[in-house]
């Protein structure tokens, strides 16, 4: 029996998530049964998609269960194994509980080589967020040299990679972020042509007109809401929208209306495509080759924010939903 | 010099088009100059996309000019030619004036064999509307056997073909139309599995739930507005929307908001693609082969409404925008 700390869903949020939606508790895990492994979490990824999972709405991932630990992409170490696929000491990646330890049947977990890059990178620039950026940019936005690409949440875990991939494709890349420091980093370090602070700009349309004088050919949309509406109006003929996140809507109690004038979709021959990267795991190898290669060659920068201690995960998650993190947000569990 | 009757744009509409937006007048056409032809119109196609052209908004076709004749897809006969590509007596199709005669440089006109099908068919089931249906169904909706396809304006010039193509692909096909007679025709003649009257159904969501119990896998959207919003909510994972018309929006003075909860696009991995069939003329041959073949084999029904006399075109166009036509609306000019 192993005593563990875990964070469970105490109640479902209505509107903004509050700290009392979470409860930290101790629990006793049984010994691994046949086929099970006991995994000690090292790093837990916090991502915006977790917000919709806290409610009961039909989504691409099932809702978290009340009174049960939340789960999230994690890197952990196998402490005990009664599963032939894993051995004690293996470092694994996959969905684990928001907990110090998880009893797991091994499904969906995969072993990683722990020494190639720092462990949190497997949850960020070599993990799901970066894979999301790569898929959307490569398979939906398909920027051509000279085109203008817009990336909302330019320095987020996903956006920072999306923007750099567009830049490497020869596009003019414009983004927005929630504070001036992030905007500065986007331009100086990630190579964006321009990045504006969407909290201090009063007229999103005007700033987009200024920074995207040729309109927008591809929109990497991971925010939604009023920024998306302003971008939508400025999409060029045959523009592509890769839609993978709508954090601006996640805490709405009343569903927000879509952008006005859907006829624009016809006039400009737009393609708006929603996607969830877990549908495309077959391409994971291509992604790792390509993005791993860029990383090795020093052609890709990635920021991350590491929060120390599982107990701080709820507070950090609230900050994530307010855009307070810089780059990939990871919790160091142990 | 030829004296002609023509209909010019007298004023731009705000909201609903009114008869005083048009003016019928006589005009004198000069003799064809070098390179020009004089064409006598036989049939003029009236189509919803003409409504946006009456205003000054940026669209995929340039606006009509005030005081000048409106134009539209037409079939006509060459009366005089000073263009080596055309001879007197040729029957041609392309954009001609809303007029008995048009002086034309020949660009965009193409000769047709007048004896294969009745002339109006070149503007309908073998013309642009049907090509629009074919492109959207074949290249965007891509229905598979057993899937559910929804077609708004089920019996319109475009919708009637779209629905039958979906049916031929083995899908369950549900549509809506503006009166009971059209709905009856859709089911009995065009083979729709179900068709409801969107004017008398109070709860569009409820009727869609009833008629599409498995949700909607592809939406052939040529209406927009509240019907689209109700369909949007019921799209299945990986559904496709082929968006080629938004007649529900064309007469709005205030732009209508898009459907609520854009996050749905991600959750259900939707692809929403706007298109204008004139971008795809390279595929016209494929379309004629396939749809012409179906017509010959008696596998495709098509309704049309023929209005007699150019003078009636404005009134007929107002009726088209209110959905009063049945099938393809064509004006017999002479």
Nearest to B261 among A245, A249, A263 (CB): A249
Same domain, A61 and A23: yes
Q: Is the pLDDT of residue A321 over 70?
A: yes
Per DSSP, the three-state class of B198 is coil
Residue B293 lies in a domain: no
- The strand pairing partners of A176, in sequence order, are A196
pLDDT at B237: 97
Predicted confidence (pLDDT) at residue B294 exceeds the cutoff of 90: yes
Q: Which alpha helices (H) appear in chain A, and where do they start and end?
A: 50-53, 128-135, 159-168, 180-188, 204-211, 225-233, 247-250, 263-267, 284-296, 313-321
Domain that holds residue B183: 128-278
Report the 10 Å Cβ neighbour count for B84.
8
* Contact across the interface for B271 and A271, Cβ inside 8 Å: yes
> Which of A236, A152, A271 is CA-nearest to residue B270?
A271
Contact state of A249 with B263 under an 8 Å Cβ cutoff: yes
Identify whether residues B109 and B139 lie together within a single domain: no
The answer to whether the CB of B160 falls within 8 A of the CB of B185 is: no
Name the token pair of A261: 């004038």
Do B260 and B141 fall into the same domain? yes
**Closest CA–CA distance from residue A28 to any residue of chain B (Å):** 35
Tell me the mean pLDDT in the region A120-146.
96
B272 and A276 within 8 Å at the Cβ level: the answer is no
CA separation for the pair A174, A160 (Å, rounded): 11
A132 and A110 housed in the same domain: no
- Residues A257, A213 share a domain: yes
Pairing of strands A71-81, A37-45: antiparallel
Within 8 A of A272 by CB-CB distance, chain B residues are 265, 270-273
DSSP state at residue A117: S
Given an 8 Å threshold on Cβ–Cβ distance, is A263 in contact with B228? no
Q: Is the pLDDT of residue A248 over 70?
A: yes
Specify whether A269 is located in the same domain as A132.
yes
Residue B318 contacts residue B17 (beta carbons within 8 Å): yes
Work out the number of other CB atoms within 10 angstroms of the CB of residue B223: 26
Instruction: With beta carbons less than 8 A apart as the criterion, state whether A157 and A48 touch.
Output: no
Chain B nearest-CA residue for A60: B267
Altogether, the residues listed in chain A come to a count of 334
d(CA B305, CA B112): 22
The DSSP output letter for B21 is: G
pLDDT for residue B104 is more than 90: yes
Q: Is the pLDDT of residue A317 over 80?
A: yes
Smallest Cβ distance to A262: which of B60, B228, B261?
B228
Counting the structural domains of chain B, the total is: 2
Place of tokens 């189509």: B47
pLDDT of residue A254: 86
> Residue A135: which residues within 8 A CB-CB, separation 6 or more?
A275, A277, A280, A283, A287
d(CA B20, CA B243): 31
The residue ranking higher by pLDDT, A291 or A114, is: A291
pLDDT mean over A215-233: 96
For residues B318 and B252, state if they share a domain.
Answer: no
* Residue count (chain B): 334
Supply the pLDDT for residue A170: 98
Buried b (16+ CB within 10 A) or exposed e, A72-101: bbbbbbbebbebeebeeebbbbbebbbbbb
Of B249, B261, B275, the CB nearest to A255: B261
Least confident of A137-146, A202-211, A244-253: A244-253
Percent of chain B with pLDDT strictly greater than 90: 91
CA dist A8 → A49, A69, A99, B208, B236 (Å): 17, 4, 9, 39, 31
Residue B238 belongs to some domain of the structure: yes
3-state SS assignment for residue A52:
helix
Q: Which residues of A touch B276 (CB under 8 A)?
A: 266, 269
pLDDT at B59: 67
How high does pLDDT run on average in chain A?
95
- Which of A127, A149, A125 shows the shortest CA–CA distance to A137? A149
CB contact under 8 A, A270 and B273: yes
The model's pLDDT over B306-328, given as tens digits with 9 standing for 90+, comes to 999 999 999 999 999 998 989 99
CA separation (Å) from A150 to A176, A224, A232, A274? 8, 12, 11, 16
| Alpha carbon of B58: minimum distance to chain A alpha carbons (Å) | 8
Question: Which residues on neighbouring strands pair with residue B77, listed in sequence order?
Answer: B40, B91
Is there a domain that residue A176 lies in? yes
Residue A175 lies in a domain: yes
Q: Are residues B116 and B136 in the same domain?
A: no
Query: What CATH number did the domain enclosing B261 receive?
Result: 3.40.50.720
Rounded to an integer, the average pLDDT of B120-144 is 96
Q: Residue B64, SS3?
A: coil
The three-class DSSP label of residue B229 is helix
Residues of A in Cβ contact (< 8 Å) with B266: 60, 243-246, 274-276
Which residue in B263, B269, B276 is closest to A275 by CB distance? B269
Is B119 in the same domain as B133?
A: no
Q: For residue B273, which phi and psi values (nearest 5 degrees)?
A: -125, 120
Q: Do A243 and B250 touch (CB under 8 A)?
A: no
Neighbours of B213 (CB within 10 A): 9
End-to-end CA distance of chain B, in Å? 19
Tokens 């190579």: give the residue: A191
Out of A58, A249, A271, name the one closest to residue B262 (CB).
A249
Report if residue A57 sits inside a domain. Answer: yes
Intra-chain end-to-end CA distance of chain A, in Å: 19
Q: What is the pLDDT of residue B62?
A: 83
- For chain A positions 131-150, those within 8 Å of chain B (CB to CB) are none
Distance from CA of A2 to the nearest CA of B (A): 37
- Categorize the per-residue pLDDT at A58 as very low, low, confident or very high, splitting at 50, 70 and 90: low
Min CA distance, A90 vs chain B (Å)?
34
Phi, psi torsion values for A169, nearest 5 degrees: -80, 0
Is residue A285 domain-resident?
A: no
**What is the structure's pLDDT at A196?**
98
> Which of B175, B224, B172, B215 is CA-nearest to residue B197?
B175
Task: Say if B60 is an interface residue toward chain A (CB within 8 Å).
Answer: yes
A261 reaches B (C-beta below 8 A):
yes
Same domain, A54 and A183: no
- pLDDT for B1 equals 84
Q: Is residue A293 part of a domain?
A: no
DSSP string, B119-150: GGGGGTTTSHHHHHHHHIIIIII---TT-EEE
Q: Left (φ > 0), alpha (ψ -120 to 50) or beta: where does B290 sit?
A: alpha
Q: Which helix (H) or strand (E) holds B41?
A: strand B37-45
Residue B156 pLDDT more than 80? Answer: yes
Quick one: A137 and A274 in the same domain?
A: yes
Q: Do A267 and B59 touch (CB under 8 A)?
A: yes
* For testing contact with chain B, the best of A232, A238, A247, A266 (most B CBs within 10 A): A266
Contact B316, B163 (CB under 8 A): no
Q: With 90 as the cut, is the pLDDT of residue B184 above it? A: yes
Residue the block writes with tokens 């965009």 = B108
Residue B24, in any domain of the structure = yes
Taking the Cβ of residue B330 and every Cβ of chain A, the question of whether any pair is shorter than 8 Å is answered with no
Answer for the pair B117, B300: CB distance below 8 angstroms, yes or no.
no
Share of chain A above pLDDT 70, in %: 99
| Cα-based distances in Å from B107 to A44, B37, B129 | 64, 10, 21
The DSSP call for residue A65 is P
Q: How far is CA A2 from CA A103, A134, B201, in A?
A: 10, 39, 61
Q: For residues A117 and B24, which has the higher predicted lDDT (pLDDT)?
A: B24
Question: What pLDDT is stored for residue B48 in this prediction?
Answer: 93
pLDDT bucket at B58, cuts 50 / 70 / 90 = low
Measured on CA atoms in the order A90, A91, A92, A96, is the torsion positive or negative? Answer: positive
Q: Is A28 exposed, middle or buried (0-12, 13-18, 19+ CB in 10 A)?
A: exposed
Backbone angles phi, psi at B323, to 5 degrees: 75, 25
d(CA A162, CA A155): 9
Residue given tokens 């592509």 in the structure block? A240
- Average pLDDT score over residue span B212-227: 96
Average pLDDT over residues A306-331: 95
Average pLDDT over residues A286-297: 94
B255 and B148 in a common domain: yes
Predicted local distance difference test score (pLDDT) of residue A59: 67
The pLDDT mean for chain B works out to: 95
């Amino acid at each position: 029996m192993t005593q563990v700390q875990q964070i469970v869903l105490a109640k479902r949020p209505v509107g903004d998530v509050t700290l009392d939606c979470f409860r930290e508790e101790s629990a006793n895990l049984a010994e691994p049964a046949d086929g099970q492994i006991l995994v000690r979490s090292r790093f837990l990824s916090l991502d915006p998609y977790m917000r919709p999972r806290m409610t009961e709405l039909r989504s691409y991932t099932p809702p978290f269960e009340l009174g049960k630990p939340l789960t999230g992409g994690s890197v952990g170490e196998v402490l005990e194994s009664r599963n032939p696929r894993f051995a004690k000491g293996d470092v694994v990646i996959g969905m684990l509980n928001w907990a110090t330890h998880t009893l797991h049947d091994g499904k969906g977990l995969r072993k990683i080589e722990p020494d190639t890059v720092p462990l949190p990178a497997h949850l960020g620039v070599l993990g799901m967020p970066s894979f999301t950026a790569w898929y959307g940019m490569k398979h939906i936005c398909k920027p051509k040299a000279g085109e203008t690409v817009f990336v909302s949440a330019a320095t987020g875990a996903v956006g920072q990679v999306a923007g750099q991939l567009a830049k490497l494709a020869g596009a003019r890349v414009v983004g927005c972020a929630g504070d001036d420091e992030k905007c500065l980093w986007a331009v100086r370090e990630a190579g964006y042509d321009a990045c504006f602070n969407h909290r201090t700009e009063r007229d999103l349309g005007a700033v987009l007109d200024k920074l995207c004088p040729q309109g927008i050919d591809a929109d990497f949309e991971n925010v939604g809401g009023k920024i998306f509406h302003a971008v939508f109006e400025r999409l060029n003929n045959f523009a592509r929208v890769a839609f993978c996140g709508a954090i601006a809507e996640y805490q709405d109690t009343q569903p927000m209306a879509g952008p006005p004038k859907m006829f624009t979709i016809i006039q400009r021959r737009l393609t708006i495509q929603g996607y969830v990267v877990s549908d495309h795991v077959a391409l994971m190898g291509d992604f790792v080759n390509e993005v791993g290669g860029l990383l090795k060659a020093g052609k890709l920068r990635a920021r991350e924010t590491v929060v120390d201690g599982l107990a701080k995960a709820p507070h950090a998650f609230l900050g994530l939903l307010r855009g307070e993190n810089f780059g990939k947000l990871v919790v160091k569990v142990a």
